[in-house]
Amino acid sequence: MRASLFLFAPLVGAAVLNHRDNIDQCPGYKAVNVNEQGLKFTADLTLNGDPCNAYGDDLQDLKLLVEYQDDDRLHVMIYDADEDVYQVPGSVVPRPSPNGSHKKGQPSLRFDYQPDPFSFRVLRDTEDGDEQVLFDTTDTNIIFESQYLNLRTWLPTDPNLYGLGEHTDSLRLPTTNYTRTLWSRDAYGVPSNTNLYGNHPVYFDHRGDAGTHGVFFLNSNGMDIKIDKTDDGRQFLEYNTLGGVFDFYFMAGPTPKDVAKQYSEVVGLPAMQAYWTFGFHNCRYGYQDVYDVAEAVYNYTHAHIPLETMWTDIDYMDARRVFTLDPERFPLEKMRELVNYLHRHHQHYIVMVDPAVSASDNGAFNRGKEADVFLHRPDSPDSIFEGAVWPGVTVYPDWFNPDTTQSWWNDEFKRFFNEHDGVNIDGLWIDMNEAANFCPYPCSNPEQYVKDNDLPPAPPSVRQPPRTIPGFPDDFQPKKNGKQRRSTGRKVGLSNRNLISPPYEIANAAGSLSNKTINTDIIHAGDGYAEYDTHNLYGTMMSSASREAMLLRQPAVRPLVITRSTFAGAGSHVGHWLGDNLSQWDKYRVSIAEMLAFASIFQIPMVGSDVCGFGGNTTEELCARWATLGAFYPFYRNHNELGSIGQEFYRWPVVADAARKIIDIRYRLLDYLYTAFHRQTQTGEPFLQPLFYLYPNDANTFSNEGQFFYGDSLLISPVLDQGSTSVDAYLPSDTFYDWTTGARITGKGKSIKLSNIALTDIPMHIRAGSVLPLRSKSAMTTTELRTRGFELVIAPNEDNFASGELYLDDGESLNPTGTSLIHFTFSENKLHLRGDFGYQGNVVVETITLLGQKNAGSRRDVGVDFDEKRQALSKAVNVQLSGPAVIEL
């Protein structure tokens, strides 16, 4: 590593090419007034010639800031000298500070630059003492204009890039003629090759045995990120952004897991979830009334399929207005009976809340209007901006009016979701927060649009009572002669910009920036940010405000908030479901890549796709396969659309069998999931992982998105195709055990065909060297599950060694007072339990199971059984989880 004196030595011999695709003769900048201050570096950048004004006005004077924030993180920022250009507010994405952690003596990364014209490189030390170029803007000129930023970095040929989401493209990004557009939109069907609900401008560049690094571009403006080759074959990645500043964080790795952890230090660690949230959830859009919901609850119980949480879509609302109940179909007294019934049976209840508030005579609107919390039209500051969503003409909260809007939002939650005389929900579901607006731009007459499109839609037709709801008391049953309801300062952005139709047009699949959303020329209250700059933050800001409102309801309890639209750092507050997918095999398959991106790259591990698909009609085969795959989503919910056939798991015999079988496995593994999830909330180490995270030098894993690791110990290989009962499962060069048969398999870095896979099964393999903590048996609820003892399954490696962990707490406290983190180590036929034992759960280890045993040998003690077919030795024990222990096998 070079001495500090040379950290900023100019590049030598770099050619300068002013030609840029679609941009001619842009002059770039010259670095002057360079100032090195230890691990901080600053310079002024001045325009290096006549402005090109390609898509706006070139800014004459910029500033450069370089910070070595710790050994493995480098911060590079290029911003305007006057600091008038919009920057992502620290209140939305808090900035990490240099933490002074330079244990290696010198940073792993090095910033290098060329002064005239200015360009820069980021380099990393290699094990052999050389340097590797990770990011390289040489031969190109940076463009910094009032409404357009452009920066290009050169890449290795055919690179392995991951991230830049949210998208339903391949996990390993295409590298030719590929554009990733970041601009939140309501994206029904989650199509490929388009912008979707959320925005995470971070990518991981994996170079096999040469290591992995990450690049995070902290910019919330709309952008196109292009990956392609030049005419002479040079591979590049290019940012084309509608505004903001260049604000980069480079993460050194060198492993994929290292990069993930380093990224979590920038955007924040994920929020820990309550134990019950990992149970099975059910919802649909189209439940006719509260009795329909109750019937689904009963039917799951009757089918003996564990149901942890029942959800209700917008059906419960009065004319689709938030913070209301339909008095005929979902009357308050019956809703409270339903919730109380669920709570008595240790189950949970969640409803949806949208951001758009009906502009009609209702409490939430009236109170919000009086408090002035809604966005205003820019051409008429006294006039509230109106759009059209489910309830008809709607208005939108301004989350940048923090004190007033947050207080109003908290009050609405307190009024509607209270324990004493409201709907006592256990979690929250946020939809439409891109923010969605059905009315196309310019939406000059939302009332006419509502009238022409019959909004709000009529609720599902109600079956005429009486009908009996099995399992519920007499006073819950519908009454006769019921009536059917009829439908009814600074850094805030430059002035003089075109906030509706900027000169550079990103590839927004919805069309213009303001189409089907909030108008981008709206100026927010408070600091005066433009929606043009902050559009991509709207969903995350609503999510954060909602988490705060949920915490005010129950300050000591971890709140579950599931949102549709996200931005970088959202995982610190909420989880995410992957939007309005379709009941199609391609959506089933792509859900794996989506889940892996959010959990292992974007640091939003509480994630899942609508199981069996949301839109359209599923089939028994697809739903059965999806039920088994969905059991390995952290967030496991069946949800489908109004107008589609019902797809609750109990509706088909095969699906019901698949659900019972896989939920049994999921619940027995729930503490394994809980432990690994908790680790991610503490360290950023991902729980769900692509294969290359564990086998970074195996090139066969780089494009594999049909398999994944559930924690470090379980390889999941779902059947991917309709009509198939087999899958070609790739087994890296390692040892594995078949979950079902216990057979020991030596992976040879090749695919093997797994055949005769029933619709009720999903192939699972235990990675050798693992100790898995399993509950001894499953249960109908997670409350009951937590009373079960444990079975420890040992899968030894070639050295007859294995290890694992178990984290225990009370399952719900935001700051639990007693926790246990128990480490299991197996060697020389002894299992050691060590660690912290602060939580007393009144359960014990009941059984130890040792895989890979050809015979019982001399181990024929009382309580020891040998399963010859499974080649497993089991020993009955009674070990308290209250202190260290040694168990001999």
Which tens digits make up the pLDDT trace of 352-397?
A: 999 999 999 999 999 999 999 999 998 887 899 999 999 999 999 9
Q: Which residue has the tokens 């295409």?
A: 174
CA dihedral 414, 416, 417, 421 (to 10 degrees): 100
Whether the CB-CB separation of 400 and 362 falls below 8 Å is answered with no
Edge-to-edge strand order for the sheet containing 714-716?
688-689, 708-710, 714-716, 764-767, 735-738, 744-746
Chain-centroid distance, C-alpha 695 = 23
Among 371, 369, 349, 372, which Cα is nearest to 361's? 369
Q: d(Cα 428, Cα 409) in Å, to the nearest integer?
A: 13
Q: Does 678 have pLDDT greater than 60?
A: yes
The pLDDT value given to residue 489: 45
Q: d(Cα 582, Cα 610) in Å, to the nearest integer?
A: 9
The pLDDT value given to residue 880: 96
Name the pLDDT band for 466 (thresholds 50, 70, 90): low
Q: d(Cα 629, Cα 658) in Å, to the nearest integer?
A: 10
Name the pTM for this structure. Answer: 0.96
Is residue 26 helix, strand or coil? Answer: coil
Determine how many CB atoms are found less than 10 A away from the CB of residue 645: 12
Whether the CB-CB separation of 574 and 429 falls below 8 Å is answered with no
Q: Residue 815 contacts by C-beta under 8 Å, 6 or more apart in sequence?
A: 556
687: tokens are 């729980």
139: tokens are 């031969």
Q: Cα dist. 492→340, 505, 528 in Å?
A: 48, 21, 7
Question: In the predicted model, what is the mean pLDDT of residues 853-874?
Answer: 85
Q: d(Cα 254, Cα 125) in Å, to the nearest integer?
A: 10
Phi/psi for 275 (5° steps) reads: -60, -40
The pLDDT value given to residue 22: 53
pLDDT digits (tens, 9 = 90+) for 796-844: 999 999 999 999 999 999 999 999 999 999 999 999 999 999 999 999 9
The pLDDT value given to residue 859: 66
Q: d(Cα 138, Cα 32) in Å, to the nearest integer?
A: 18
Q: Hey, which residues does 241 pair with through a beta bridge? A: 149, 223
Question: In the predicted model, what is the mean pLDDT of residues 173-190?
Answer: 98
Cite the active site residues.
Answer: 431, 434, 580
Q: Does 480 have pLDDT greater than 80?
A: no
189: tokens are 């069907």
Q: Residue 818 contacts by C-beta under 8 Å, 6 or more apart in sequence?
A: 809, 810, 838, 839, 840
Q: Hey, which residues does 64 pair with through a beta bridge? A: 43, 78
Q: d(Cα 676, Cα 666) in Å, to the nearest integer?
A: 14
Determine how many CB atoms are found less than 10 A away from the CB of residue 599: 28
Whether the CB-CB separation of 398 and 525 falls below 8 Å is answered with yes
Stretch among 3-7, 118-122, 727-731 having the lowest mean pLDDT:
3-7
Q: d(Cα 199, Cα 184) in Å, to the nearest integer?
A: 7
Phi/psi for 75 (5° steps) reads: -110, 125
Q: d(Cα 858, Cα 856) in Å, to the nearest integer?
A: 6
559: tokens are 């709140």
pLDDT digits (tens, 9 = 90+) for 7-49: 443 343 333 233 344 576 899 999 999 999 889 999 999 999 9
The pLDDT value given to residue 264: 98
Determine how many CB atoms are found less than 10 A away from the CB of residue 521: 18
Is residue 873 classed exposed, middle or buried when 0-12, 13-18 and 19+ CB atoms within 10 A define those classes?
Answer: buried
The pLDDT value given to residue 277: 98
Q: d(Cα 810, Cα 840) in Å, to the nearest integer?
A: 9
Among 636, 657, 619, 758, which Cα is nearest to 305's? 657
Chain-centroid distance, C-alpha 674 = 17
Question: In the predicted model, what is the mean pLDDT of residues 342-346?
Answer: 98
Among 777, 810, 803, which Cα is nearest to 791's? 777
pLDDT digits (tens, 9 = 90+) for 395-446: 999 999 978 999 999 999 999 999 999 999 999 999 999 999 999 999 999 9
pLDDT digits (tens, 9 = 90+) for 48-72: 999 999 999 999 999 999 999 999 9
The pLDDT value given to residue 464: 67
Half-sphere exposure of 680 toward its Cβ, with a 13 Å CA cutoff?
A: 31
Q: d(Cα 785, Cα 787) in Å, to the nearest integer?
A: 5
Phi/psi for 357 (5° steps) reads: -110, 135
Among 423, 464, 450, 433, which Cα is nearest to 326's? 423
Whether the CB-CB separation of 572 and 613 falls below 8 Å is answered with no
Name the pLDDT band for 860 (thresholds 50, 70, 90): low
The pLDDT value given to residue 487: 33
Name the pLDDT band for 470 (thresholds 50, 70, 90): confident
Q: Is the dihedral of CA 747, 753, 755, 758 positive or negative?
A: positive
Determine how many CB atoms are found less than 10 A away from the CB of residue 90: 9
Q: Which residue has the tokens 């006592």?
A: 424
The pLDDT value given to residue 492: 87
The pLDDT value given to residue 481: 52
Which domains, from first to last, does the chain contain? 4-183+190-256 (2.60.40.1760), 677-767 (2.60.40.1180), 789-888 (2.60.40.1180)
Is residue 486 helix, strand or coil? Answer: coil
Is residue 214 helix, strand or coil? Answer: strand
The pLDDT value given to residue 459: 86
Q: Does 564 have pLDDT greater than 70?
A: yes
Q: Residue 603 contacts by C-beta under 8 Å, 6 or more apart in sequence?
A: 260, 263, 264, 267, 268, 269, 270, 569, 571, 680, 684
Q: Which residue has the tokens 């901080």?
A: 40
The pLDDT value given to residue 858: 67
